[in-house]
Amino acid sequence: MLGSRLQSSRSEVVRWSAPIAGRLKLNVDASVFSGDSTFAVGMVIRNHGGEFIQAKNCMIAGAVSVFEAETRGLLEALQWINELQLSNVDIESDSMLTVNAVVRGAENYLEVDNVLHECQVLHESNSSITISYVKKQANKVAHLLARVPCLVNCSNVFWSPPFSVLETVMYEANLS
């Protein structure tokens, strides 16, 4: 019995899933480059049909922990939604610690307390935004976007998928 339970959990396929009709999904991820004093954030917005709406990436100066980079990435996503004046958005991040800290209102994370607070304020100001954790396998496009070259302290906005994520976007759209 235990063996069959272990086997079935190993064969579980984790992949991106589209939001329900009338909502958008924004996946966000951060990449910390070891030995470098920068980190990157990648974000992608898709609709209920899995269609690419818009994406953004940015490179930010600073030697930070992965938790700090992921938290800053979530803040960038919330600010971008606000800037675009979007509502009915489901944000997914593969940082369980960040998601739990923002959604549950956690405090006393000294290195990111101010960033967490900003995330909480933006999240609370728009009740149509949800924030949830997703496994890394379901966050591929955001991860790949965080790896697209970008100058330090600037950002790129993509109105169509960059070549490096096109195949993944198309594959995931066909699954939805």
How does pLDDT run across 57-66, given as a tens digit for each residue?
999 998 899 9
pLDDT recorded at residue 7: 47
Q: Is pLDDT at 3 greater than 70 in this prediction? A: no
8 located within any domain: no
The DSSP element (H or E) to which 167 belongs, if any, is helix 163-175
Q: 52 pairs with which residues across the strands?
A: 46
Mean pLDDT value across residues 7-21 = 76
Region 109-137 average pLDDT: 91
pLDDT at res. 33: 83
Average pLDDT over residues 109-122: 87
* 122, 140, 141, 167, 168 from 163: Cα distances, Å: 32, 14, 11, 8, 10
Does residue 108 surpass a pLDDT of 80? Answer: no
Does residue 23 surpass a pLDDT of 70?
Answer: yes
How many structural domains comprise the chain? 1
- Domain annotation covers residue 9: no
**In-domain check, residue 78:** yes
Instruction: Determine if residue 151 is left, alpha or beta; phi over 0 gives left, psi from -120 to 50 gives alpha, anything else beta.
Output: beta
106/73: higher pLDDT: 73
Q: What's 166's domain CATH number?
A: 3.30.420.10
Asked if residue 169 belongs to a domain, the reply is: yes
Task: Supply the range of the domain harboring residue 33.
Answer: 17-175
Q: Which of 119, 97, 87 is nearest to 19 (CA)?
A: 87
Query: What was the pLDDT predicted at 8?
Result: 45
Closest CA to 60 of 45, 48, 71: 71
Looking at residue 69, what is its pLDDT? 95
Q: Report whether pLDDT(28) > 90.
A: yes
